[in-house]
Amino acid sequence: MKSIFAQGPVYGYRFLVAIILSSILVMADLQLRQTDVVRQWLGYLVSPIHWVVNAPVKFIGWSATTFSTRDELISENSKLKAQILVLERKSQQLAVLQAENVRLRDLLNASQLVNETVLAAEIIGIDSDPFTHQVIINKGLQDSVFRGQPLLDAGGLMGQIVSVDTYSSRALLVADSNHAVPVQVNRNGVRAIAVGTGSLSELELVYVPDTADIVEGDLLITSGLGQKFPPGYPVAVVTRVEHDPGQPFARVKASPTANLNQSRNILMVFSDTLTPRER
């Protein structure tokens, strides 16, 4: 294609004609309003061309924005899910802390009612043997723990220490079939021996005369006999009394006042009434 600005007499005339036409169109555009209509029609004709030319650019921009927004939403969604998990975990921990706070308050109230010196401890393990009820305590010889030392929770007597290591000790719960504790009825002072039945929810009084004044609802407390357990600690509540005319002894069942299968924080009692050999 040859340029109109090329050298030569013919092309010089064309250039001159182009200048004159341009000047006439500029003057007409300034003086005549009809040129606005022409310009609008020309704009209508050129608009599809502009749209087609700009379509790839707009598509690329829309795609970049869309995918960028999608990636941002995915990332934000992942962060929000992580935050929800963190908040749920904190909520669960808060519930645990509230429950533990209640237990510690109950234990503190119980410690204020005990006249002897006490040591707060925590149960850190249980015996896996299904035929025994023993727990591991996080206190030992370095804390002056001794064999036969009584254990309490907020409800009452839990058991006693049976073996001691340097940093831990093992306790036998009152529900164990090998455990026995001298008790008396808080209402009238009737004495008996409460032994474990192997069930965490039940104790039994042995060798109770059939004529003994014991009824359902009586509170059983430690009698202090034998000098293993200081007197006055709650042990159990009588739940059932059975009298058999043909037997000399009544069958008496009781429910432990201590939460044997729930308590984790406990008190270890130091008392001057315990025998020296136990200390």
Spatial neighbors of 204 by CB under 8 A, at least 6 apart, are: 194, 195, 197, 251, 252, 253, 254
CATH of residue 160: 2.40.10.340
Q: Distance (Å, rounded) from C-alpha 152 to C-alpha 107? A: 9
| Reported pTM | 0.61
Cβ–Cβ under 8 Å, residues 238 and 215: yes
pLDDT above 80: residue 46: no
What value does the mean pLDDT of the chain take?
79
Q: Distance (Å, rounded) from C-alpha 78 to C-alpha 70? A: 12
What local confidence, expressed as pLDDT, does residue 128 receive? Answer: 82
pLDDT above 70: residue 106: no
Q: Residues of 96-112 as b/e, b for ≥16 C-beta within 10 angstroms?
A: eeeeeeebeebbeebbe
Domain-located, residue 148: yes
For 162-178, the pLDDT digits (tens) are 999 999 999 999 999 99
Domain-located, residue 6: no
Q: State which residues form the domain around 153.
A: 117-270
Distance of CA 265 to the CA centre of its chain: 18
pLDDT above 90: residue 218: yes
For 14-43, the pLDDT digits (tens) are 777 777 777 776 676 666 666 666 666 666
Domain-located, residue 56: no
What local confidence, expressed as pLDDT, does residue 154 receive? Answer: 82
For 147-165, the pLDDT digits (tens) are 999 998 888 899 999 999 9
How big is the chain by its Cα radius of gyration, in Å? Answer: 47
pLDDT above 80: residue 65: no
Domain-located, residue 28: no
What local confidence, expressed as pLDDT, does residue 5 receive? Answer: 47
Q: What are the tokens at 247? A: 């037997």
Q: Count of domains in the chain?
A: 1
CB atoms closer than 10 angstroms to residue 247: 10
Residues linked to residue 240 through DSSP beta bridges, in sequence order: 253
CB atoms closer than 10 angstroms to residue 10: 9
What sign results for the dihedral spanned by CA atoms 49, 52, 57, 58?
Answer: positive
Domain-located, residue 145: yes
What local confidence, expressed as pLDDT, does residue 80 receive? Answer: 80
Q: Distance (Å, rounded) from C-alpha 269 to C-alpha 78? A: 53
Domain-located, residue 121: yes
- For range 39-64, the mean pLDDT: 68
What local confidence, expressed as pLDDT, does residue 195 receive? Answer: 96
Element (H, E) at 135: strand 134-137
Domain-located, residue 193: yes
Cβ–Cβ under 8 Å, residues 258 and 155: yes
CA distances, 79 to each of 82, 89, 118, 239 (Å): 5, 15, 49, 56
Domain-located, residue 155: yes
Q: Distance (Å, rounded) from C-alpha 168 to C-alpha 145? A: 9
